[in-house]
Amino acid sequence: MIKEQKKQIRRKALARRNALTEPERERGKLLITERILGHQWYYLSDTILGFVSYGSEICTTEILESALQDGKNVYVPKVEDGKMEFYRMFSLSELKNGYKKIPEPAGDTDRYVFEPEHADKTLLLMSGSAFDPLGNRMGYGGGFYDRYLADKENLRLRSIGIGFRCQQVEQVPVEVTDVKPYQVILV
């Protein structure tokens, strides 16, 4: 029952996101970049676990490039054998198409290793298909972030779900395995 509800909510939220015009996307990119780069958690972090935007997702290019220019350690997801881990990136130009043609680090780069004493200096940015006013996040159905956060002590990481305002729904159906970000910023 919940799986079917999620599927319908995801489909509708993604249809709204896909329908955004180029000026709306550009405005969203500028606003989310401004909000993240001006966020206290960004300022306090020396490590950013970001994501490379794909398809109609809100563009994270400027966030990632700024983090690199600011001297932060930047890691982005890489999926292998159905498991997501974060790997270090040094430049957007080094990325290659990986799982579902989503850009990810090529070759052997350092994998992010969670250290509890470093949690307050790490910021995790989460993509999603839908978000609700209570801060619940719905991904794309693969459970990658949920599994990544559940099998570690990473729940103490400062995490922010980001997206477009059109992705907000009344309520995201929540399962026991769902992990929500500490904050959600929709623009």
Per the annotation, binding residues are: 6-10, 52, 57, 137-145
State CA 93 to chain mean position distance: 20
- What number of other Cβ atoms are within 10 A of residue 175's Cβ? 11
Closest CA to 180 of 160, 166, 163: 160
Strands (DSSP E) contained in 20-169 are: 47-49, 73-80, 83-89, 95-97, 103-105, 122-126, 130-131, 137-138, 158-163
| Rounded-to-integer distance, Cα 125 and Cα 114, Å | 15
Annotated binding site for ATP: 6-10, 137-145
Q: Which residues have CB under 8 Å from 65's CB, separation 6+?
A: 92
| Rounded-to-integer distance, Cα 169 and Cα 137, Å | 10
| Under 8 Å between Cβ of 185 and 158 | no
